Amino acid sequence: MNQLLAVTDLGRVRIFNFRPGGDDPQDKDHLVEKSTTELNGVGKPLNETVSDKAGRFAKTGAGGASGEEHNLGGEMERQAIARVAELVAEAVESEGCPFWTLTAPQAILKKLTDALPKACQDALANSLAADLTKEPVAKLEERFLS
């Protein structure tokens, strides 16, 4: 069984440890939430981050020219993925986990996996494309411990 579960999206990172049940059949395996980190300002819509809409230059001649596209949204996503990867890597390395599981929305899972250090990638036993950051622990236990 994996020793660590990282449940993340661009705005939240939840880290769980697996706790095995005892000899009593009623004492089942559990997930224990080790930490939850909220990433402020990350993953918000662009209009909540900047105060203006895309600008336009004054019309010259027959057509008007639009302002340049600076790909701010893509850069913000890249920075958010790097920060999430850093937090997940810290958790994996601090636990000394030989194997762990990662869940993240499908849109970012590949980018997040690629952003992790090589040692964390090598120890990754399973990844799941799903946004489970708001799921209660009981639902996560059903999904990962059944």
pLDDT per position as a tens digit, 74-104: 888 899 999 999 999 999 999 887 799 999 9
Round the average pLDDT of the chain to a whole number and report it.
Answer: 83
pLDDT at 12 over 70: yes
19-68 pLDDT, tens per residue? 887 766 667 888 999 999 998 765 555 555 555 555 555 555 555 555 55
3-state secondary structure the chain: CCCEEEEECCCEEEEEEEECCCCCCCCCCEEEEEEEEECCCCCCCHHHCCCCCCCECCCECCECCECCCCCHHHHHHHHHHHHHHHHHHHHHHHHCCCCEEEEECHHHHHHHHHHCCHHHHHHEEEEEECCCCCCCHHHHHHHHHC
Characterize 54-88 residue by residue with b for buried, 16 or more Cβ atoms within 10 angstroms of its Cβ, and e for exposed. eeeeeeeeeeeeeeeeeeeeeebbeebbebbbebb
Burial label, 5 (beta-carbon count in 10 A; 0-12, 13-18, 19+): buried
User: Where are the domains positioned within the chain?
Assistant: 7-18+34-41+99-136+142-146
Q: Between 11 and 44, whose confidence is greater?
A: 11
**Separation between Cα atoms, residue 17 and residue 25, nearest integer Å:** 20
Q: For residues 46 and 53, what is the distance between their CA atoms, to the nearest angstrom?
A: 10
